[in-house]
Amino acid sequence: MNRPYPDRDRRGPPPDRNDHDHRHHERPHPAPRSAAPRRDHHPRRNAPPPPPITRAGPVILSVPVPKPNGAPGPPVAVQQPTELAVFSYDQFGHFHPDASSLRFWYPPAGYTVRRAVAGQGTAGTPLPHPPHPPPVPDRIDLNAQFDAYVPSANGIEPLDNLLRGLVDGQVWPFPARNDVHVVTWRGIATKFLCALYDNHRDGWELGAVRYNGTVFMHEHVTPARKADEDAMKADSRRARMAYWGYRFEQQCVLDTALSELAEPDRALAEEERRTTAVNAQKQFCSVFTTKIGSTRLVMGAEVDCCLDVSGGKRHYVELKTNKCVRTPGDHRAWRAKLLRIWAQSFLAGVPTIMVGFRDNDGVLVDVQELSTADLPRMVRGSADAWDPMACLRFAANALEKLREAVREEGVYYVVRWAHPFTGIEVERVDGRVEERLAGQRKEI
């Protein structure tokens, strides 16, 4: 199989995260607890996402989603992601055009991080979990401090602060000879990469508007999405499981790079992260550009942490949680999850993933390191394997056709992946202009 770009070690470029993409562990969004009220000039991330739009116009484009086992096609050219700008949210959810909320990888105390590589075990199987994990009380309980947890804002991240990050980074407005075709969040691009193997059929809906030749896309809250969020709020078990991902993340990072910490300070920092409540308002985001086929994208993504900085580049790390993989059903679910992990990390050029495997009670059992470049080979040969080049081929085709369909400036379009899930459809919404985006651009 032709690979889009070769294996990379930790030299890989930047970044990642957004997504309802943007919280990419096993977590929906728990019911928000109120953070300390504060009002100042910093914009917040609480703009309400647009509601879904009932069908108001004819379908002007339908991109068929082929069977993933169809005939192979030509390889797709993919450009290595390059970071353009960064921004942060502080503990109150306020925006800052800097890297003040960037955190650094430091493994959880008492755990040996093992590196899983392709070819170990059966297809798509992580390393066997240790029969004797760290003894109690050294094992990390991911339920700790749950009652003091301050979650991030519920719902879908609007484009507001992504655009502000581009402006403050002096990247946008784009130059007159603009070759940026799409601006969006990484989580939305991930949907296009994963559509070929989407067996959950949850569906999604996007809003798209063309402005100065560039298509801006954001996500709508569909009824199914809203129902799922409401059900999550009412289910204490799901809320707690959502929290485990955030707690694992906190136990893997420090606010200061390890190279800048003296030995006594490391012990203090470890103790602080064990005893401090999780505040998911504090986040770091990277804005980067990449190219899939003929489409150049500028995307924003939340980044979990940084391994180190060398040669002027930050080497980012993705953090995930998953239940221990033991049964055949666990293995199938894990292989399916690896597709989304690969898509998210590949799009942003994140070369390393650290996975915390936990038991059913939320106790951390094992930590393993995965390479993004290895993930396709890890699932190869299994009955439910996925082909990364097929994903890229479909995404390249769909994005190119979407750009052609969203052709009128200032007119609002809706992009849908919905029942019966045979294709991604584009509708022109007559008489509706995306005032909020247009006004926001003038304001910024």
Q: What is the pLDDT of residue 390?
A: 94
β partners of residue 316: 306
Q: Which two tokens stand for residue 423?
A: 């294709």
Q: What's the pLDDT band for 24 if we cut at 50, 70, 90?
A: very low
- Which of 8-22, 87-101, 108-122: highest mean pLDDT? 87-101
The predicted pLDDT at position 118 comes to 63
Integer Cα distance of 360 and 362 in angstroms: 6
Query: Residue written as tokens 């009002």?
Result: 39
In a domain, 175, yes or no: yes
* pTM of the shown model: 0.84
**pLDDT tens digits, 342-393:** 999 999 999 999 999 999 999 999 999 999 999 999 998 888 899 999 999 9
Rounded distance, CA 244 to CA 321, Å? 8
CB within 8 Å of 221: residues ≥ 6 apart: 49, 50, 51, 52, 155, 156
Query: pLDDT confidence of 130, banded at 50, 70, 90?
Result: confident
Query: Which residue blocks in 114-258 are alpha helix, DSSP H?
Result: 160-168, 186-194, 223-234, 236-250
Domain that holds residue 364: 59-443
Q: Is the residue at 428 inside a domain?
A: yes
pLDDT at residue 119 in the model: 56
User: Per the domain annotation, does 20 fall within a domain?
Assistant: no
Q: How many CB atoms lie within 10 A of CB 180?
A: 20
Is 243 contained in some domain?
A: yes
What whole-number distance in Å separates Cα of residue 360 and Cα of residue 290? 38
Query: How many CA atoms within 13 Å lie on the side-chain side of 289?
Result: 12
User: CA–CA distance from 330 to each of 29, 159, 215, 324 (Å)?
Assistant: 23, 36, 39, 8
With beta carbons less than 8 A apart as the criterion, state whether 127 and 9 touch.
no
Residue 116 — very low, low, confident or very high, per pLDDT cuts 50/70/90?
confident
Within-domain flag for 32: no
Residue 434 has pLDDT above 50, yes or no: no
What's the pLDDT score for residue 15? 35
- Phi then psi for 386, rounded to 5 degrees? -125, 150
Instruction: Give mean pLDDT, residues 397-414.
Output: 95
Residue 16 lies in a domain: no
| Top-confidence residue, 376 or 58 | 376
Task: Please list, residue by residue across 125-140, b when 16 or more beta carbons sit within 10 angstroms of its beta carbon and e when fewer do.
Answer: bbbeeeeebbeeeebb
Give the helix/strand (H/E) hosting 316.
strand 313-323
The phi, psi pair for 306, rounded to 5°, reads -125, 135
Domain assignment present for 47: no
Q: Specify the pLDDT at position 135.
A: 66
Identify whether 329 is part of a domain.
Answer: yes
Q: How high is the pLDDT of residue 113?
A: 93
Residues contacting residue 196 through CB under 8 Å, at least 6 positions apart: 65, 66, 68, 386, 390, 391, 394
SS3 sequence, 402-426? HHHHCCCECCEEEEEECCCCCEEEE
Distances in whole angstroms, Cα of residue 219 to Cα of each of 81, 136, 161, 208, 386: 22, 44, 14, 9, 26
Domain count, the chain: 1
